[in-house]
A and B are shown apart, each in its own frame.
Chain A
């Protein structure tokens, strides 16, 4: 069955290395509008680097990345404009500590997109409401918990009305009980049809949110497929081994006594 949706992001033969260390090795990927792609793989497989390349934060050594047929190049003059279409959220909930929550969300719409202040604030408030943090509007980031900060970072990225969201292990630095509140926001976005590329280690989340799962290792796509098949019956031995590392076998056999 052919997918009729428009291709918004096209990665062709992408190569990225740090010195002699090749991190991404001739990777091809097409992302269609509204698609949610989850990238998984062992540490060092190049998942985060892939997102950073898409955003032009890393210089690439080969291939090209096209967003709406425009080349993404960190050194080009229009990179700031291209980045407006890409909403990146990092692992480390890096809010601007000297700005209040609403200022964090509205700074870029106001200074980059030159939107009227009132409009930006109204929209910022709507986004905060959506992530359940409107009451924190005038707080500073340090007053928020990790999960709350990460929800604000998502709102801040959404305020730029990006075409694609790039989420880089956004729950990896959070306490377990805060993971859910953040991932719920993302599930909600997926339901709305937001195009997203998500790097995560949360397998049950990956399964719930993905249209397509990509398993990356050694800078290649080793396997890709729909989550139902990938998680229950992976085709490659490597993917099977990787998924197995998330399971634990009981050490002791418990006996229940009356």
Chain B
């Protein structure tokens, strides 16, 4: 292996890593917001929005991100007549894909909170909104942390398809360098290392957070 070349490539990979991180975190934040809203809609079965939400969840969970991005980046501008910036497209694409998964995580958390919790909060004079905010949602979130972390890791890995809409992410840089210099092994090793740099901390942090929020699992 040509370690000299690897050192030379480092700045390019580093730059690409920041792009991946930027798109990744905004996309993930967006996915949490979308997931929470969609989960509330499906939890309360709000008419019309409920059916739309179910359709959205199934659509996004059962099609590849690559195709979702192609639609947004190449097909939608033709229909709407306005182009969408590649980076914004990546963030939105990730947020929408993640939203469908996060919605399911929130939903299973909401369902796992025992009905007696709602009843006792209601008996204490809380309104339905107060019950959700102070009693049910905090418990649902702590019950879902594990699956949130799994989703986040999944989404970060999915960013590797961004190169398809000409975003200069890690994958793009690796392919580019391989095409130019044929240092295939070196580039792929760097690629793996950089993905680990991004994702390993999330895994570790996730385990820590999960342990801290474990109260829900112990029973009351």
Interface residues in B116-137 by Cβ distance below 8 A to A read 116-117, 119-127, 130, 134-135
Instruction: Give the interface segment out of B43-51, B53-61, B84-92, B211-219.
Output: B211-219
Closest chain A residue, CB of each to CB of B216: A97
The answer to whether A107 and B134 touch (CB under 8 A), given A55-B123, A92-B116, A160-B125, is yes
How many CB-defined contacts (below 8 Å) exist between A and B? 74
B20 interface residue (CB < 8 Å to A): no
B115 to chain A, nearest CB (A): 10
- Indicate whether A189 reaches chain B with its CB closer than 8 angstroms: no
Query: Which has the most chain B C-beta neighbours within 10 Å: A80, A141, A156, A160?
Result: A80
Residues of A within 8 Å of B138, CB to CB, are: 98
Whether a CB of chain B sits under 8 angstroms from the CB of A59 is no
Cα of A192 to Cα of B122 in the assembled complex, Å:
26
Return the chain A residue nearest B120 by Cβ. Answer: A94
User: What range describes how many residues of B lie at the interface?
Assistant: 20 to 34
Write out the residue numbers on chain A whose beta carbons fall within 8 Å of the beta carbon of B121.
96, 108
Q: What is the bound-complex CA distance between A92 and B127, given in angstroms?
A: 22
Given the known inter-chain contacts A96-B117, A97-B139, A107-B134, please indicate yes or no for A142 contacting B123, CB distance below 8 A.
no
Q: Which residues of B contact A (CB under 8 A)?
A: 114, 116-117, 119-127, 130, 134-135, 138-139, 142, 215-216, 218-220
Listed A/B pairs (26) with beta-carbon separation below 8 Å: A57-B123, A80-B126, A80-B127, A83-B122, A83-B124, A84-B125, A86-B123, A92-B116, A93-B220, A94-B116, A94-B119, A94-B120, A94-B220, A96-B117, A96-B121, A96-B135, A97-B218, A98-B138, A98-B215, A108-B121, A111-B134, A112-B124, A113-B125, A141-B220, A149-B220, A160-B125
- Please name 11 further chain A to chain B contacts, defined as beta carbons within 8 Å, in addition to the given A80-B122, A94-B114, A112-B124, sorted by A numbering: A57-B119, A57-B123, A83-B124, A84-B125, A88-B123, A95-B220, A97-B219, A98-B139, A98-B142, A142-B220, A157-B124
